[in-house]
C-alpha cells in the first residue's frame, strides 16, 4: 500500500483550534441537558365565567341597527331585555324582562367576541315586509297661484266665394287666485257684408256665450268643485251631459306623481342583505338595496299591457339569482282602496253654441268607481231627471296575464217613450201645437204627438261587454253594447236623439315582420240604429318607416253591403330642416282616383315661420296654401283653400293679454298655466325654463313663460354669468308647480351691489401677510388677505371701515369711500395702516 506523507508542521495550529471548539460545544450541550432534565408544571386552568354583563350590538339575520345594548351572560345562556328583542322583530310570545334568547323557539344565538355582536338567526317570516317601489317618477310639489287676469283671443277672418265676409272672435276672460279660477268664454261675430254677393242672408252679428264657471281644487283630498257650466264625467258605458249647476269630482291630475292603476308586484324573501335589480322587457327599471326578510317589489314607470319582468338578486359575496315572471298592467283599473267619482247636479243645457243660456229640466248625474282589489274595479252610474231614472253597475276585471274584461248593465225608466227626432220638422225646435213630448205642460200632463215615437216602450236596459289585451307583439280590443228600444239617458231624453240599438267594435294591431318593418291594424265596426239600419265598416291600415326619417302609410276602408271601397297611399319624405314633402294617391268609394302632393314646414315652438302647400288632382282639383308666423306676442296665420277659381281666403290672429305683477304682458295663446319671472326691476337677465332659454327680462325685470303644464313641478332659473360682476342674486333657481289655468310670479332677488377689491399694506408700506384677518365694520363681513394684501368685499356702502387684526394682536382701522354710480368692482388702494393702532382687541372701536 502506498505510504501517505506526514502533514507539514504549518497545519498543527488549525487542528488545535478545531478541537477546542468541539470541546466547548459538548460542554454547552451537557450543561443544557442537565438544566432541562425535568418538564415544567402544567398551566393552571383559567377561572370559568358563569355570570357576566356584556355590551353588544344585536344582529338579526345579518341586519343590525348598530346600537349597543346590555346582554347578560349566565350559565352558558344569553339574556336580553324583551323590548330590545321586540324592536329587532324577535317573537317573544308576551314575555317581559330579561329573556333567554336560546330558549325562544326557532331562534339561534351566537356570541362573536371579535365583533362584539350577539348574532341571532330567526325565521324570515318574522321580519317586516319591505315595500320597494323604485324611484318615483317625480316628487310631489304643492301647486301655487298668484292673483291675475288673463284674456285669450282668437280672431278668424273668412272671405268665402260667393259668400259674405265675416270676422268671428273667440274670447276668454279669466281671473285666477289661490281660491280658484273664474272664467267666461264666448264668440263675437261681425259680418263685414250685410248681404252676401249671391244674395243670401248672413249670420246674425253679436256675442254668443259658451261657458261661465268658477272652479277650485282641493289638492290634499284630490277633489275639484265647479259651479257654473260644465260637462259631467262618464264611464266607458255611459254618456256625458252638458249642464249648468254644481259639480264635485275626483281630480287625479293635481298629483302627476300619483299612479292610479295597479302596478307590477313581485314578492320574495332575502335570506341576507341583498341588492335587487328589476328589468322590464329587457330594460333595467330600478335597483334597490334590501335587508334580509320578505319584500314586495313594485315599479312605477309608465307601462301598460303585457310584458316580462326579470328580478336579479345579488348578495354581499356576489352570488346572483335571476327570476323571470310574466305580468300584465291595465291602466283601466284602480288600485286597491282607491276611488274615483263625479257628481253633477244642475239644469241640462240645450242648444249649446246656438243660444246663450238655454237650460231645461233639473237633472243629476253621478258615477263612482272603487278599486275593490288590484284585480277588480267596481263602478256605478245613476242619472235622474224629471220623468227619468237610470241606474247601472259595472266592473273591470284583470284576467291574470291575459288582459282585462269589462262588463256593465244598466236600466232606465221614463214616463214617455223615446223620441224619434226624424219626425220633427227641421225648422221647429218645438212640437205641434207647442207641445214638447216628455216635457209637462202647465197642467202637469206629458204630451206625445202622433208619430213622434216609434215605440211605446218606456223602460229599457243596456249591457256592455268588452275585452282588451295589449303587448309588444299584438294588441286586441273588442266591445259590444246592446240596448232595448225603450232605453234612454239624460242626453237622449232631453233632446231629439235616439241611442243606437247595438254597436260592435273590434280592433287588432300587430307588427308581423318586427317593429322596424311597420305596424298593421285591422278594425271592424258595426252599428245598428234604432230603425234597424246597419252600418258595417272594415278598416285596414299599414304604416312603416323607410329610409332616414321618411315613412309610408296605407289605408283601406270597405263598407260591407256596398260595392266600392276607399283607399289611400301616402309617402312622407323629409327634404330639409323641419320641411316635409308628402305625395300619394286617394281612391273614393265610387272608384275615382285623386293624386295628392304637398309640402310643409313645421312652425318652431319657440317662434318663427311655418307654411303648408297642398294640391289634389282628379276631376275637381283642390289647392291649399297657408303660412304661420309664431312669436312671443301672438300667432298670425293666413292663406286660401278651395277648388280652382273658387277659393276661400282666410286669416287668423290669436294670443293672450295678461295682467300680473302690476304689469301688462302680450303673449302667444296660453292654453293652460304660465309663469312670470320677476328679477326685481333688473333688466336683461337670461331666463331658462326646464333648461331651455326663454329670453331675457324686460325693463321692469319681468318675463312671461306661457308654455307651462299645470301641476308639473317645473324648474325655473336665471343665468347670472353674463351679468356684471357687481350684480348678485340670492337664489338662481326654483321648482314651481302651477295650478290649472293660473299663473305664478317667481321672484329672483337680483340687485346691483357696491363691491371692491382692496389692497392693504402695513405701517411699513408692505403688503399685509397672507391670511391676515380683516372685518368690514358696517356689515360685519370677515375675510382674510390673499396674495399682495388683496381682499374682496361685496354689499358695501358709500362709506366703509375695515378693522385689521395685526400680528401683535392690535387692530388698525382703515376707512374708504365708494362711488355708487360705478358700474363694476372698484379697485381700492393700496391702503396702509396708520402709525397708531385702534386698540388691542379685534373690533375695538376706541
pLDDT < 50 stretches in the chain = 1-37, 422-452, 837-846
- Can you tell me the distance from the alpha carbon of 75 to that of 667, in angstroms, rounded to the nearest whole number? 85
Q: Looking at the structure, do residues 736 and 656 belong to the same domain, yes or no? A: yes
Q: Distance between CA 509 and CA 492 in Å, rounded?
A: 34
Domain harbouring 56, CATH code = 3.10.20.410
- Residue ending a domain, among 329, 357, 376, is 329
**What is residue 269's predicted lDDT score, i.e. its pLDDT?**
77
8 Å CB contact between 798 and 759: no
What SS3 class is residue 153?
Answer: strand
CATH label of the domain that carries residue 802: 2.60.40.2070
What distance in Å separates the CA atoms of residue 14 and residue 21, rounded to the nearest whole number? 11
Calpha distance 166→153 (Å, rounded):
16
Q: Does any domain span residue 448?
A: no
Q: Is residue 22 part of a domain?
A: no
State residue 736's pLDDT score: 94
Residue where a domain terminates, one of 329, 355, 370: 329
Note whether 722 and 616 are same-domain residues. Answer: yes
What is the DSSP code (8-state) at residue 725?
T
Q: Is residue 674 part of a domain?
A: yes
Length of the chain equals 846
Q: What is the pLDDT of residue 33?
A: 43
With contact defined as beta carbons under 8 Å apart, do 183 and 211 qualify?
Answer: yes
E-assigned strand segments in 222-282: 223-231, 242-250, 265-270, 274-280
Say yes or no: 758 and 781 in one domain: yes
Same domain membership, residue 607 and residue 671: yes
Q: Are residues 681 and 770 in the same domain?
A: no
Q: Which domain holds residue 270?
A: 265-329
For residue 828, what pLDDT is reported?
Answer: 92
Report which of 496, 497, 495, 500 is spatially closest to residue 485, judged by C-alpha positions.
500
pLDDT of the residue at 299:
61
pLDDT in tens, 760-805: 998 888 899 999 999 999 889 999 999 999 999 988 999 999 999 8
Contact in structure between 422 and 348 (CB atoms under 8 Å): no
Q: Which residues pair with residue 527 across a beta bridge?
A: 503, 535
Task: Cell numbers for 685, please give them.
Answer: 337677465
Report how far residue 538's alpha carbon sits from residue 526's, in angstroms, rounded to the nearest whole number. Answer: 9
Q: Is 18 helix (H, G, I), strand (E, B) or coil?
A: helix
* Residue given cell 302690476 in the structure block: 662
Cβ–Cβ < 8 Å for 654, 154: yes
Beta strands in 219-338 (DSSP E): 223-231, 242-250, 265-270, 274-280, 283-290, 293-298, 305-315, 320-329
Backbone angles phi, psi at 10, to 5 degrees: -70, -15
Residues 611 and 732 in one domain: yes
- Is residue 553 a part of any domain in this protein? no
Is there a domain that residue 772 lies in?
yes
**Residue 836 burial (C-beta neighbours within 10 Å; 0-12, 13-18, 19+):** exposed
Please check whether residue 468 lies inside any domain of the structure. no
> By CB neighbour count within 10 A (0-12 exposed, 13-18 middle, 19+ buried), where does 782 fall?
middle
Query: What DSSP string runs through 764-812?
Result: TSPBPPTT-EEEETTT--EEE--GGGEEEEEEE-SEEEEEEE-TTS-EE
Its sign, for the CA torsion 35, 38, 44, 45, is: positive
CA distances (Å), 3 to each of 6, 15, 526, in order? 9, 22, 136
- Comparing CA positions, the residue from 715, 805, 722, 818 lying closest to residue 760 is 805
Is the domain of 619 the same as that of 736? Answer: yes
Distance CA 634, CA 626 (A): 17
Question: How many other CB atoms are there within 10 angstroms of residue 708's CB atom?
Answer: 23
> Is residue 82 within a helix (H) or strand (E), and if so which, with residue range?
helix 82-87
Out of 300, 329, 358, pick the residue that ends a domain: 329
pTM for this predicted structure: 0.77
> CA 673 to CA 146: how far, in whole Å?
11
- Return d(Cα 416, Cα 387) in angstroms, integer: 8
Spatial separation of the C-alpha atoms in residues 166 and 336, rounded to whole Å:
55
What is residue 301's predicted lDDT score, i.e. its pLDDT?
A: 62
**How confident is the model over 245-268, as pLDDT tens digits?**
999 999 999 998 888 888 877 777
**DSSP secondary structure of 34-76:** HHTSSPPPPPPPPPP--EEEEEEEEEETTEEEEEEEEEEEETT
CA angle at residue 281 from 338 to 236, to 5 degrees?
35
Separation CA 263–CA 470 (nearest Å): 15
3-state SS track over 374-400: CCEEEEEEEEEECCEEEEEEEEEEECC
93: left (phi over 0), alpha (psi -120 to 50) or beta: left
* Residue 353: predicted pLDDT: 86
- Coil vs helix vs strand at 491: helix
pLDDT at 836: 55
- Cell numbers linked to 777: 365694520
Same domain for 758 and 746?
no
Q: Indicate if 114 and 156 belong to the same structural domain.
A: no
Residues 644, 657 share a domain: yes
CA pair distance 598, 72, nearest whole angstrom: 89
Q: Report yes or no on 542 lying in a domain.
A: no
**Is the domain of 659 the same as that of 689?**
yes
User: Within this chain, do residues 69 and 148 fall inside the same structural domain, yes or no?
Assistant: no
Number of domains in the chain: 4
Report residue 710: phi and psi, to 5°.
-65, 145
472 part of a folded domain: no
Asked whether the beta carbons of 660 and 666 are under 8 A apart, the reply is: no
Residue 271's CATH number: 2.60.40.3110
Amino acid at each position: 500500500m502506498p505510504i501517505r506523507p506526514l502533514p507539514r508542521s504549518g497545519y498543527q495550529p488549525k487542528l488545535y483550534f478545531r478541537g477546542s471548539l468541539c470541546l466547548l460545544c459538548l460542554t454547552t450541550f451537557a450543561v443544557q441537558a442537565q438544566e432541562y432534565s425535568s418538564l415544567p408544571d402544567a398551566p393552571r386552568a383559567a377561572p370559568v365565567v358563569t355570570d357576566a354583563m356584556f355590551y353588544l350590538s344585536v344582529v338579526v339575520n345579518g341586519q343590525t341597527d348598530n346600537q349597543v345594548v346590555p346582554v347578560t351572560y349566565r350559565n352558558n345562556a344569553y339574556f336580553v331585555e324583551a323590548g330590545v328583542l321586540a324592536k329587532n322583530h324577535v317573537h317573544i310570545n308576551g314575555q317581559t324582562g330579561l329573556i333567554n334568547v336560546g330558549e325562544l323557539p326557532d331562534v339561534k344565538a351566537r356570541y362573536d367576541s371579535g365583533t362584539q355582536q350577539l348574532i341571532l338567526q330567526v325565521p324570515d317570516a318574522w321580519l317586516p315586509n319591505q315595500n320597494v317601489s323604485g324611484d318615483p317618477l317625480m316628487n310631489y310639489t304643492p301647486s301655487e297661484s298668484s292673483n291675475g287676469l288673463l284674456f285669450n283671443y282668437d280672431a278668424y277672418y273668412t272671405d268665402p266665394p260667393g259668400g259674405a265676409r265675416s270676422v268671428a272672435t273667440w274670447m276668454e276672460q279669466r281671473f285666477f287666485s289661490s281660491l280658484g279660477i273664474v272664467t267666461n268664454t264666448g264668440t263675437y261675430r261681425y259680418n263685414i257684408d250685410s248681404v252676401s254677393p249671391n244674395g243670401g242672408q248672413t249670420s246674425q252679428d253679436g256675442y254668443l256665450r259658451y261657458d261661465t264657471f268658477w272652479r277650485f281644487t282641493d289638492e290634499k283630498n284630490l277633489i275639484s268643485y265647479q259651479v257654473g257650466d260644465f260637462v259631467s264625467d262618464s264611464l266607458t258605458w255611459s254618456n256625458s251631459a252638458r249642464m249648468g249647476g254644481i259639480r264635485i269630482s275626483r281630480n287625479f291630475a293635481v298629483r302627476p306623481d300619483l299612479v292610479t292603476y295597479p302596478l307590477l308586484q313581485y314578492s320574495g324573501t332575502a335570506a341576507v342583505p341583498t341588492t335587487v335589480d328589476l328589468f322590464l322587457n329587457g330594460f333595467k327599471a330600478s335597483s334597490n338595496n334590501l335587508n334580509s326578510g320578505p319584500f314586495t317589489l313594485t315599479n312605477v314607470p309608465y307601462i301598460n299591457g303585457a310584458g316580462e319582468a326579470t328580478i336579479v338578486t345579488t348578495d354581499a359575496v356576489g352570488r346572483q339569482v335571476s327570476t323571470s315572471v310574466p305580468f300584465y298592467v291595465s291602466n283601466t283599473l284602480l288600485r286597491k282602496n282607491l276611488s274615483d267619482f263625479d257628481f253633477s247636479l244642475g239644469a241640462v243645457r240645450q242648444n249649446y253654441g246656438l243660444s246663450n243660456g238655454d237650460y231645461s229640466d233639473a237633472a243629476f248625474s253621478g258615477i263612482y268607481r272603487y278599486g275593490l282589489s288590484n284585480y277588480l274595479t267596481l263602478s256605478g252610474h245613476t242619472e235622474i231627471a224629471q220623468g227619468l231614472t237610470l241606474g247601472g253597475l259595472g266592473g273591470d276585471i284583470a284576467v291574470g296575464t291575459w288582459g282585462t274584461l269589462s262588463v256593465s248593465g244598466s236600466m232606465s225608466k221614463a214616463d214617455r217613450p223615446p223620441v224619434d227626432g226624424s219626425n220633427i220638422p227641421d225648422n221647429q225646435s218645438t212640437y205641434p201645437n207647442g207641445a214638447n213630448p216628455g216635457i209637462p205642460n202647465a197642467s202637469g200632463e206629458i204630451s206625445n204627438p202622433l208619430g213622434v215615437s216609434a215605440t211605446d216602450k218606456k223602460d229599457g236596459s243596456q249591457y256592455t261587454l268588452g275585452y282588451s289585451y295589449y303587448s309588444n307583439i299584438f294588441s286586441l280590443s273588442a266591445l259590444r253594447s246592446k240596448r232595448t228600444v225603450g232605453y234612454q239617458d239624460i242626453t237622449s231624453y232631453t233632446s231629439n236623439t235616439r241611442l243606437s240599438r247595438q254597436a260592435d267594435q273590434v280592433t287588432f294591431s300587430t307588427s308581423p315582420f318586427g317593429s322596424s318593418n311597420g305596424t298593421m291594424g285591422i278594425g271592424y265596426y258595426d252599428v245598428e240604429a234604432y230603425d234597424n239600419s246597419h252600418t258595417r265598416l272594415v278598416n285596414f291600415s299599414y304604416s312603416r318607416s323607410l329610409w332616414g326619417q321618411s315613412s309610408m302609410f296605407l289605408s283601406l276602408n270597405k263598407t260591407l253591403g256596398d260595392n266600392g271601397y276607399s283607399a289611400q297611399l301616402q309617402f312622407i319624405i323629409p327634404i330639409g330642416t323641419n320641411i316635409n314633402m308628402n305625395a300619394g294617391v286617394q281612391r273614393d268609394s265610387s272608384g275615382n282616383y285623386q293624386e295628392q302632393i304637398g309640402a310643409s314646414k313645421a312652425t318652431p315652438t319657440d317662434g318663427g315661420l311655418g307654411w303648408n302647400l297642398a294640391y289634389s288632382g282628379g276631376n275637381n282639383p283642390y289647392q291649399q296654401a297657408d303660412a304661420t308666423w309664431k312669436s312671443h306676442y301672438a300667432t298670425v296665420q293666413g292663406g286660401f283653400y278651395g277648388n280652382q277659381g273658387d277659393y276661400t281666403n282666410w286669416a287668423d290672429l290669436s294670443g293672450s293679454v295678461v295682467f300680473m305683477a302690476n304689469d301688462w304682458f302680450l303673449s302667444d295663446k296660453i292654453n293652460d298655466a304660465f309663469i312670470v319671472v320677476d328679477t326685481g326691476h333688473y333688466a336683461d337677465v337670461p331666463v331658462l325654463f326646464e333648461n331651455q332659454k326663454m329670453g331675457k327680462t324686460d325693463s321692469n325685470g319681468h318675463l312671461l313663460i306661457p308654455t307651462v303644464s299645470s301641476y308639473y313641478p317645473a324648474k325655473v332659473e336665471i343665468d347670472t354669468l353674463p351679468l356684471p360682476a357687481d350684480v348678485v342674486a340670492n337664489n338662481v333657481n326654483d321648482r314651481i308647480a302651477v295650478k290649472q289655468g293660473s299663473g305664478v310670479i317667481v321672484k329672483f332677488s337680483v340687485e346691483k351691489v357696491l363691491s371692491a377689491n382692496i389692497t392693504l399694506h402695513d405701517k411699513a408700506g408692505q403688503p399685509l401677510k397672507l391670511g391676515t384677518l380683516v372685518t368690514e365694520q358696517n356689515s360685519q363681513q370677515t375675510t382674510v388677505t390673499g396674495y399682495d394684501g388683496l381682499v374682496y368685499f361685496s354689499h358695501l356702502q358709500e362709506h366703509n371701515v375695515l378693522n385689521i387684526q395685526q400680528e401683535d394682536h392690535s387692530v388698525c382701522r382703515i376707512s374708504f369711500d365708494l362711488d355708487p354710480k360705478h358700474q363694476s368692482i372698484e379697485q381700492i388702494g393700496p391702503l396702509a395702516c396708520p402709525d397708531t393702532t385702534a386698540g388691542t382687541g379685534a373690533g375695538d372701536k376706541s
